[in-house]
Amino acid sequence: MQEHTVSHSRLWSALALSTLLAGCATLQSHDKLASEVQTSSRAEGIPAAITRLDASAKSDDDKKALLYNLERGELLRLDNRYEDSTQSFLVADERVKEWEETAKTDPSKLMGTVGAALISERLKGYEGQDYEKVFLTTRLAMNRVAQGDLEKARVDIKRTHEREAVIAEFRAKETAAAEEEATSKGANKGGKELNGYPVETLNDPEVLALKNGYQNALSHYLAGFLYEVMNEPGMAAPGYRKAIELNPETPVLEEGLRGLDKRTSFTWKRRQRMTDVLFIVETGDAPARKPKAFTLPVPTGRGMVTASISYPVIEPSNDPLLKQVSAAGQDLKLERVVDVNVMARRVLKDEMPGMVLRGITRAVAKGVVQDQLQKNAGLFGAIVGAVASVATEQADDRMWRMLPGRIYVARGYLPPGDHLLSIDGRTIEAPITIDGQYAMVPLRFYGDRAMVGQVAVVGQLAPAPVAAPAPASNKPAARQRGTKASAKK
């Protein structure tokens, strides 16, 4: 009878372990996949990277997933396949629209953290980082401009602003809900849970200087530029103004607003002989979220047990900053307007209070399970509980990793024609063709390669004035005859 009881207890423990580990098949590391895709792209080229990414999407649901289409859209864009890139981004955008609708009509659905609270953060459906949601519509707008579709780009820009408003309202409610849930489950919301966490990565001056974790100056400067290109200066000014607010004391952003009236005046356009060129230069890679494990003591009815908790860490970027782009004998200063590493750390900083509370909630729940396992199966049960706790506690490492690490802009006037570019003295092999009233030049440093995208050209320069014919006169002829006569003598 005793053997039967022990056997039953061990079976119960095994079933509990199976339940806790049931979700592990879905807890795959996106960091691992993204690293493999990046390795493929650098060793074999972008098409090989797309093939590796596609191999990870085994079902129809996988192929409709947000993160898969974000990564795929960016790789296709790097390959200058703008139409295909736009299609992938539009699939991703549908997922974000679903999130927006739920955030507006039933935000409590997005705050339900049962799966994450009891097992792992990775079991939550991936809704995208907030800056990724905003950057998605910005990427769509950039693709549309490259394809010459300014009207759709205009729609994307408008949706960028609307999306920011939805994010701001939803995030204002989320932390309070997490606190309420954690308190109801007996979790302590004190600050000691971060002991050992590298908080300096979240509290450095660049992170703290950001207004929030989702707005970026490029999106709003691009809005100003597009409205200006479409001859809507009244709409352009707020875009430039917001970019300055997000990145103060940035000369290229300030000049966008300061020179707007002159650039859009009828007199200026009638006399314009050189192209107003916006360079968008991207470099590096978006950062990775790396898991860092912690153990917490959890009180139970039978004493203290330890539970494993994992939080993500983002290391600061050490990539050197770019300084200038040179073309046609001109040196234009490159200004950093987006640092994805800093934005990702700001998002993580804002997420951390709720993440800590959910982690403690999981620890309490797992502590109770471990206590019951030990009570029913002794040492074997305790070991089972500890193994299950560690195996299921994995920090969420999902991020849009194919994005660039930093984005710079420069703006100036170039004569129409073919030009060789150089960035900080490094010459770009393929020349670019500049023409029209406005041009937008996208360029990405990817590994050891410089990749030039489709140059967008808008409008036509004013034709050069035709010189009036010189009035007829006999004096030059007389003078010429006189010279010939002198030569004969």
Nearest to 174 by CA among 347, 396, 341: 347
Q: Where are any strands of DSSP class E within 247-405?
A: 275-283, 290-300, 303-313, 324-327, 330-333, 335-339
- Per-residue pLDDT, 267: 87
114 burial level (CB within 10 Å; 0-12, 13-18, 19+): exposed
207 burial level (CB within 10 Å; 0-12, 13-18, 19+): buried
Q: Report the largest interatomic distance among the alpha carbons of the chain, rounded to a whole angstrom.
A: 142
Q: Is the pLDDT of residue 463 over 90?
A: no
Nearest to 322 by CA among 200, 213, 404, 224: 404
137 contacts 154 by C-beta, under 8 angstroms:
no
Average pLDDT on 379-391 reads 50
366 contacts 230 by C-beta, under 8 angstroms:
no
Nearest to 363 by CA among 227, 188, 235: 188
Compute φ and ψ for 162, nearest 5 degrees: -65, -40
459 contacts 438 by C-beta, under 8 angstroms:
yes
434 contacts 455 by C-beta, under 8 angstroms:
yes
Q: Sorting pLDDT into bands at 50, 70 and 90, what band is 25?
A: very low
407 compared with 7, residue with greater pLDDT: 407
Percentage of residues in the chain with pLDDT exceeding 70?
Answer: 75
Residue with tokens 């701001």: 168
Under DSSP, the state recorded for 238 is H
User: Both tokens of residue 279?
Assistant: 């360079």
User: Both tokens of residue 213?
Assistant: 């974790």
* Alpha-carbon span 65 to 3, nearest angstrom: 49
Residue with tokens 């372990």: 17
Q: Is the pLDDT of residue 118 over 60?
A: no
Amino acid at 35: S
Q: Is the pLDDT of residue 20 over 80?
A: no
* Alpha-carbon span 34 to 288, nearest angstrom: 9
List, for residues 126-172, the tens digit of each pLDDT value: 899 999 999 999 999 999 999 999 999 999 999 999 999 999 989 88
- Per-residue pLDDT, 4: 47
Residue with tokens 């209070």: 353
* Contacts with 327 (C-beta within 8 Å, 6 or more apart), sequence order: 414, 419, 420, 421, 422, 432
Please name the residue ranges forming H helices in 185-231: 205-209, 217-229
- Per-residue pLDDT, 481: 42
**Which residues, listed in sequence order, are joined to residue 339 by a DSSP beta bridge?**
406
Average pLDDT on 445-461 reads 91
List, for residues 269-321, the tens digit of each pLDDT value: 888 899 999 999 999 999 999 988 877 776 666 566 666 788 899 999 999 99
- Per-residue pLDDT, 354: 75
- Per-residue pLDDT, 22: 43
- Per-residue pLDDT, 179: 67
307 contacts 298 by C-beta, under 8 angstroms:
yes
Residue with tokens 């500049």: 434
pTM of the model: 0.84
- Per-residue pLDDT, 447: 83
99 contacts 77 by C-beta, under 8 angstroms:
no
Averaged pLDDT of the chain: 83
List, for residues 227-245, the tens digit of each pLDDT value: 999 999 999 999 999 999 9
Nearest to 127 by CA among 106, 154, 98, 147: 98
Among left, alpha and beta (phi > 0; psi -120 to 50; other), residue 101 is: alpha
List, for residues 198-228, the tens digit of each pLDDT value: 889 999 999 999 999 999 999 999 999 999 9
Helices first, then strands: H and E counts in the chain = 18, 14
Q: Is the pLDDT of residue 97 over 80?
A: yes
Q: Where are any strands of DSSP class E within 329-448?
A: 330-333, 335-339, 406-414, 417-419, 422-423, 426-427, 432-434, 438-446
- Per-residue pLDDT, 175: 67
Residues making up the chain, counted from first to last: 489
User: Both tokens of residue 159?
Assistant: 């949706």
* Alpha-carbon span 275 to 277, nearest angstrom: 6
239 contacts 218 by C-beta, under 8 angstroms:
no
Q: Is the pLDDT of residue 115 over 70?
A: no
Domains and CATH numbers, the chain: 2-268+343-397 (1.25.40)
CA 362 to centroid of chain Cα atoms:
29
Contacts by residues 416-422 (CB-CB < 8 Å, ≥ 24 positions apart) = 416/274, 416/275, 416/461, 419/327, 419/328, 420/327, 421/325, 421/326, 421/327, 421/452, 422/325, 422/326, 422/327
